[in-house]
Structure 1
């Protein structure tokens, strides 16, 4: 049965089609599936923020075990208005707060547990950060949303039917007491692969069915019908399949219904969607401004630069997705000044690059036109709901812009009118050379899908003509916006995130060739050393005082050789490397394969032994793009 919101939007589409039509020219029929109105409004937000904050912040963890003392949560200067003002100045349209992460600690005084902010020193146990942030959002014009981890490592009854009542009560509490939310975020890391609660008992769950998501969706529709639901497979929006903040250049807002579910393990295909999908589930690109999701002081010098964030904007929003940028709030309870400055500068750079649309108000020449109100002029006006369309049966057409004098160009924006479906399957962008010949612009990605928004960066051309040749589509073309821009000097540079680097002691890898050594110490994240077996031995050459070990996992797509759990030992004799200094897990390494750092009490050692006690993919060789010891 269709939801009320879905039926309302279907009626709205029908009315819009009727009002935009002349008596003689009908609008194109929708190409199914089509989005609900709330999904269109969600996509128009384009960029919004994540806030990861909690006990992990104060205990230097990414995935807490649920055993940290609530007394350690005590931000001295927490100011949600500082968060909100920073986000507004960074161009964010909303914010999603981790109300409860996997460790089970609640940032609001949920009465169903003692593992909450009510049992922390913050405001003498009277604090409520969900309330403080939702109030700040209303004050500064931001939309508000909540992240609630289905997984809970603190609750001893996790994995049992009793836990579900607890989880549903948490969800209802958040949905009914803090105003309107634009999204509800359910993490795909939803249990079955770790330790839980005081019982310290490993439990396996059926990720697909345990939580009874249909019941959850009914609750959401009854309380917050405007909220878009995030999970690996939606139904409102989907995870993009990585935590690096980008979608594929080919990106369908479609999935095959019922195939993708929370905990789905075919991550790579989520970057592209399903061309034959029968459900509208657009991609959300989540990424942290730092290597980790929670704050770690040692990452203060590893904040993504404004240029790196601009690159991610083009590869998320510009690839028919949204950009969800995480800000790890620090131990004072503030967004760190470096994070703030870089995010604000990022927003300014995007605005500057796309400031002047060279074709605003220009009526292009088109090879086919439906007529009525669906004319070429609709592509360069200021309205979202006006669009150019081709006649029925015409699935390919050209759009050509001519200038009185040559223009410098290196950026292009394309938008389809997605309330009628996603259609474009392939297109080509060409410019006219001095001899009048049409040549393709030079860019480094395929030109296939468009969807809500496609942003292209191409090598600068100076020309009096540019055209888009739509070569294939799922139905008559419906294009509502085209922009052409000059992004200025340096616009030909495509910024890539460099390999993270740490100044390291010199070392060797016993039994490994110089070529293998180079792969792990060349400060090039694209070369990887793979080691069979479960152990890596490092020889520092002489006894030294060491206090940390770091490595960058394989950066390929997909990543290979990922270590889930480890044991780190040291020794002064190659035959006796048996002093265990740290053991644990590389939390979230599967989805966020950034530099992994293990810190321990300083010891004197010559040899270091890393043993993989569990691999993400059993039997795979361990993969190391970079290795460092300090």
Structure 2
């Protein structure tokens, strides 16, 4: 069956396929939920880019307060075509621009506010970065999309009905004046206590109902019907529940309708989806190429390596998701050369590892076949629109490949024909040894779901036969593609993100048992020191000149034991550590629990106290995987 590119709904697509089948072989019935055509096309993009750029870039912030002067936004060499060329060379199919982040600063001259690029020195206030990037995308063949934060810390009317009119006007402006967009991104981080209009304030909103998302969706469908809508729970695609760039090996493209909303408190579920879900909402895996989302000069030597990005590709695209890779544009207005080089090399590695499909054009032996339109040869014809299917009632079957001579292999691609639904619940991959015995390949993750794409990395085997045993499914199997590859020497290496290596003064934690204290300085991100209460006392053992405090938050899932806002004080005696050197917030720590760094004017001290003025989850203990003082 051919993939229908012109249908506007998944139901129409399924009906069309059924109508073009011959009378003696019926197309498999769709198993709900099924995707809309635009969701299938979105998933086929596989990898695309995020761009975080704005006042935060020039003020060294992640979540700005809305009080930074627009005059500080002044990129000297901004070149959106440089961005586009970099992304094309990195294999990206599109880009999403943060047109407005939580600080409220607009990268386009929106007439409803003076907190925009029009008040900056860039192009004497006549710049429009949304326009520049959308034009560059058209020139270089990239799809374009926009991120618009529902939260706005610059607006004093945030939390009132008046703000909604402002937000809707921004959205309409972006959707009507910059061409077609493939996605609209709504951040789940919105509302709560913080800074508004540059002043500290508390704004309590009903995150589920305040923004009136049904009205927003109607607007989007009327102006940009092809756009996929992102939020924690979709409806077009969902957040994967972390900002580390991976989905679960078990990953269903379903959610239970109406259950997940922006700020959903069970975000860890989103890595896996809901196996009993009734709405098609596939996972998008967002991650930054650096620890932070915005550019910080001190992170120039902490850019993810090509190998780390390759690992994320296998655990995002290869786990039935998409990979949204963020590039923090630097203060010159360019993608940094290290980021660019690593992203380009990452794409080359993907192409290298999956270059030659060892089963291309081969017809495998199958234990069951539906009929002539759904033959086994469809799995190796390089056409996603054709697929092998089993007869009704057959939910388990074997696919076996035989080679003339033994072949080295260590990678596998599997794809289901998702316009008819996601079906496979479990499978096993086996090879035949020299004695003719079938043995399972060795890999380090479960073989459960497949969906649009599943990529497996397994220990290299050399064999003349390979078998995939589909052991359970929600209905008759519909397998579009199978690929088998030899990724070359070194392919058995399990890539891992190295632990943070921070130099630190030696210290002790006098209020805590010694056996617990060592957990915060053992350079093991998987061990965590838990501190009850709101105060952590650090003893440096002698007077030191200190200028920064760092900690890696608790890395366990689900993440809960996080300090949201803090005060950091120093002193010379333990009962009078009362000289405040810094206070603030650990922005986005719940979703992106990377190393947190607090820098302050150098000061002499023996003791430091970190006080949690607010926890992400009230009442939880503070969790520290690693601590360092410099």
Using structure 2 for the length normalisation, give the TM-score.
Answer: 0.98
Out of 230-239 and 200-209, give the one that drifted further.
200-209
Q: Is the 8 A contact 2:541 2:606 kept in 1?
A: yes
Is 2:472 aligned against 1:450? Answer: no
- Distance in 2 (CA, whole Å) between partners of 1:389 and 1:343 is 38
- Distance in 2 (CA, whole Å) between partners of 1:204 and 1:541 is 43
Q: Is the 8 A contact 2:58 2:72 kept in 1?
A: yes
State the match for 2:278 in structure 1.
278
State the match for 1:537 in structure 2.
537
State the match for 1:293 in structure 2.
293
Q: How far 1:170 sits from its partner (Å)? A: 0.1
- Distance in 1 (CA, whole Å) between partners of 2:368 and 2:300 is 55
State the match for 2:526 in structure 1.
526
Is 2:577 aligned against 1:577? Answer: yes
Q: Deviations over 1:120-155 (max 9, x none)?
A: 011100000000000010011100000000000001
Q: How far 1:193 sits from its partner (Å)? A: 3.7
- Distance in 1 (CA, whole Å) between partners of 2:518 and 2:400 is 51
Is 2:8 aligned against 1:14? Answer: no
State the match for 1:428 in structure 2.
428
Q: Is the 8 A contact 1:208 1:262 kept in 2?
A: yes
- Distance in 2 (CA, whole Å) between partners of 1:228 and 1:410 is 35
Is 2:354 aligned against 1:372? Answer: no
Q: How far 1:12 sits from its partner (Å)? A: 3.1
Where in structure 2 are the equivalents of 1:198-217 lying within 5 Å? 198=198, 200-217=200-217
State the match for 2:384 in structure 1.
384
* 1:581–1:95 distance in 2 versus 1, CA, 3 Å: same
- Distance in 2 (CA, whole Å) between partners of 1:288 and 1:77 is 22
- Distance in 2 (CA, whole Å) between partners of 1:500 and 1:6 is 49
How much is the aligned-residue C-alpha RMSD, in angstroms?
Answer: 1.1
Deviation >6 Å, runs of 4+:
none
State the match for 1:326 in structure 2.
326
- Distance in 1 (CA, whole Å) between partners of 2:602 and 2:432 is 65
State the match for 2:562 in structure 1.
562
Q: Is the 8 A contact 1:574 1:607 kept in 2?
A: yes
Out of 513-522 and 535-544, give the one that drifted further.
513-522
- Distance in 2 (CA, whole Å) between partners of 1:8 and 1:519 is 54
Q: How far 1:610 sits from its partner (Å)? A: 0.5
Alignment: residue pair count: 625
Q: How far 1:238 sits from its partner (Å)? A: 0.2
- Distance in 2 (CA, whole Å) between partners of 1:315 and 1:219 is 34
Q: Is the 8 A contact 1:247 1:321 kept in 2?
A: yes
State the match for 1:438 in structure 2.
438
Where in structure 2 are the equivalents of 1:201-240 lying within 5 Å? 201-240=201-240
State the match for 1:403 in structure 2.
403
Out of 391-400 and 22-31, give the one that drifted further.
22-31
- Distance in 2 (CA, whole Å) between partners of 1:525 and 1:473 is 38
State the match for 2:3 in structure 1.
none
Q: Is the 8 A contact 1:76 1:332 kept in 2?
A: yes
Q: Is the 8 A contact 2:14 2:30 kept in 1?
A: no
State the match for 1:551 in structure 2.
551
SS of structure 2 residue aligned to 1:429: strand
Q: Is the 8 A contact 1:498 1:525 kept in 2?
A: no
- Distance in 1 (CA, whole Å) between partners of 2:502 and 2:386 is 52
SS of structure 1 residue aligned to 2:373: coil
State the match for 2:595 in structure 1.
595
- Distance in 1 (CA, whole Å) between partners of 2:13 and 2:34 is 13
**Runs of 5+ consecutive residues of structure 2 not aligned to the other structure:** 1-5
* 1:553–1:6 distance in 2 versus 1, CA, 3 Å: farther
Q: How far 1:511 sits from its partner (Å)? A: 3.5
SS of structure 2 residue aligned to 1:298: helix
Q: Is the 8 A contact 1:24 1:372 kept in 2?
A: no
- Distance in 1 (CA, whole Å) between partners of 2:485 and 2:176 is 45
SS of structure 2 residue aligned to 1:377: helix
Q: How far 1:252 sits from its partner (Å)? A: 0.3
- Distance in 2 (CA, whole Å) between partners of 1:71 and 1:383 is 53
Q: How far 1:567 sits from its partner (Å)? A: 0.2
- Distance in 2 (CA, whole Å) between partners of 1:564 and 1:192 is 12
Q: How far 1:8 sits from its partner (Å)? A: 4.2
Q: Is the 8 A contact 2:65 2:196 kept in 1?
A: yes
State the match for 1:58 in structure 2.
58
- Distance in 1 (CA, whole Å) between partners of 2:19 and 2:436 is 42
Q: Deviations over 1:476-525 (max 9, x none)?
A: 00000000011111111121212222111222221434432321112111
Q: Deviations over 1:373-403 (max 9, x none)?
A: 1000000002110000000110000000011
Q: Deviations over 1:524-558 (max 9, x none)?
A: 11111111111111111211111110000011111
Q: Deviations over 1:47-72 (max 9, x none)?
A: 00000000011111111111111011
State the match for 1:346 in structure 2.
346
Using structure 1 for the length normalisation, give the TM-score.
Answer: 0.98
Where in structure 2 are the equivalents of 1:77-96 lying within 5 Å? 77-96=77-96
Q: Is the 8 A contact 1:22 1:372 kept in 2?
A: no
Q: Is the 8 A contact 2:10 2:34 kept in 1?
A: no
Q: How far 1:44 sits from its partner (Å)? A: 0.2
Q: How far 1:620 sits from its partner (Å)? A: 1.4
Q: Is the 8 A contact 1:291 1:302 kept in 2?
A: yes
* 1:626–1:199 distance in 2 versus 1, CA, 3 Å: closer
Q: How far 1:23 sits from its partner (Å)? A: 3.2
Q: How far 1:9 sits from its partner (Å)? A: 4.2
Q: Deviations over 1:226-279 (max 9, x none)?
A: 000000000000000000000000000001111111111111110000111110
Q: How far 1:33 sits from its partner (Å)? A: 0.8
Is 2:27 aligned against 1:27? Answer: yes
SS of structure 2 residue aligned to 1:487: coil
SS of structure 2 residue aligned to 1:164: helix
Q: How far 1:99 sits from its partner (Å)? A: 0.1
- Distance in 2 (CA, whole Å) between partners of 1:502 and 1:121 is 38
Q: How far 1:6 sits from its partner (Å)? A: 8.1
Q: Is the 8 A contact 1:566 1:613 kept in 2?
A: yes
